[in-house]
Amino acid sequence: MPGPLSLPTLCRFLLLWAFAIFHKALGDTAPHPGPHYLLPPIHEVIHSRRGATATLPCVLGAPPPSYKVRWSKVEPGELRETPILITNGLQARGYGPLGGRARMRRGHRLDASLVIEGVRLEDEGRYRCELINGIEDESVALTLRLEGVVFPYQPSRGRYQFNYYEAKQACEEQDGRLATYAQLYQAWTEGLDWCNAGWLLEGSVRYPVLTARAPCGGPGRPGIRSYGPRDRKRDRYDAFCFTSMTAGHVFFVPGRLTLSEAHAACRRRGATVAKVGHLYAAWKFSGLDQCDGGWLADGSVRFPITSPRPRCGGLPDPGVRSFGFPRAQQAAFGTYCYSE
């Protein structure tokens, strides 16, 4: 067993402790090791939209004699990083699907910033710029955050039908991807109140509650209710999907159409029947307001409301209303078309 501390050792510990307390009392932080070559970013969160060009800053204060810079993406829910690009300051090599859309900014000789062109939904997340010099590696982390909208989704079969992988596929089929916890939290702060639990990208199952009530988890404080991590293959819930601004636009075609007639009506106009994500994006970013139910590509009937009013959904808040999944042969609705 180790023996008791000697008096000189004890004095050194007490001196370090007193030094840290002294700096804290002055409102100053005690000295700590930090990046030696990389400058800390001014903004750690970079905001962008789908289709835009985003720049993730990474700048050297001084270059070491020999070095490489490696950019990687930290995958949520997975203990791994995906390499994007490696450069030695003169040449750069991209890796994976993101590497083909990424390049170095090269604003000056100390600039190692990453430029991502044609930002996609899956690009949102945490990135790492790592300086490798063979002696003391260091890195800075940044977050790319997309402006978008979260929407709950369930299939025509009803609630709680998806395992994790089916929920992920369902969101992608509706021009979205599974939302992250951060995206769901922001949607909750903006008014999302939903009683059905849904999968998130990290593999957890949650639902947002603004007004606590008996059928929705019982009394308590508003917030994001959690079922915690679940079995991705066995457990079944709904999905919370995330989408962002689209390159095209959504428009309404009136009529009393069946689902097949809706597809034909959109084709005649050089368009396709809109997906659920298209309609939510048009509501969020273009202010689409239409008090008429219309067919969507998944067989559901919905309509977007930005200015709530009587006889137009009956709810006091803006949102996308749903008639569910009527019979495809029911000729009672118009359709929402999407054109790029």
Going from N- to C-terminal start, the domains of the chain cover 38-146, 148-243, 246-339
Q: Which CA distances in Å does 336 have to 20, 116, 174, 321?
A: 63, 32, 14, 13
Topology of domain 38-146 in CATH is Immunoglobulin-like (2.60.40)
pLDDT band at 135; cut points 50, 70, 90:
low
CA pair distance 78, 239, nearest whole angstrom: 19
CATH of region 148-243, choose from 3.10.100.10, 3.40.50.11890, 3.30.530.20, 3.30.499.10: 3.10.100.10
Q: Which long-range contacts (CB under 8 A, 24 or more apart) does 259-268 make?
A: 259/295, 259/299, 259/328, 259/329, 260/328, 261/331, 262/294, 262/295, 262/333, 262/334, 262/335, 263/335, 265/335, 265/337, 266/335, 266/337, 266/338
Q: Which CATH superfamily is domain 246-339 in?
A: Mannose-Binding Protein A, subunit A (3.10.100.10)
Both tokens assigned to 26: 């002055």
CATH topology match: 38-146 vs 246-339: no
Q: Answer whether 149's CB lies under 8 Å from 243's CB.
A: yes
What one-character DSSP code corresponds to residue 289? Answer: -
Tell me the backbone φ, ψ of residue 178, rounded to 5 degrees.
-60, 135
User: 299 versus 109: which is more confidently predicted?
Assistant: 299
Separation CA 53–CA 258 (nearest Å): 40
Chain centroid to CA 128: how far?
17
Q: CB burial class (10 A; 0-12, 13-18, 19+) of residue 201? A: buried
Helix (H) / strand (E) containing 282: helix 276-285
For strands 138-146 and 45-48, give the pairing: parallel
pTM above 0.85, yes or no: no
Task: DSSP letter for 140, please.
Answer: E
Mean pLDDT of all residues in the chain? Answer: 88
Q: What is the pLDDT of residue 66?
A: 83
Q: In angstroms, how far is the first alpha carbon of the chain from the final one?
A: 74
Tokens 């100053």 sit at which residue? Answer: 28
What pLDDT digit, counting tens, does each position of 192-216 carry?
999 999 999 999 999 999 988 888 8
* Cβ 110 vs Cβ 59: under 8 Å: yes
For residue 24, pLDDT beyond 70: no
Q: Work out the pLDDT band at 79, boundaries 50, 70, 90.
A: low
Q: Distance from CA of residue 188 to its chain's centroid?
A: 14
Q: Which residues contact 238 (CB under 8 A, 6 or more apart)?
A: 152, 153, 154, 159, 160, 161, 162, 167, 196, 197, 198, 199
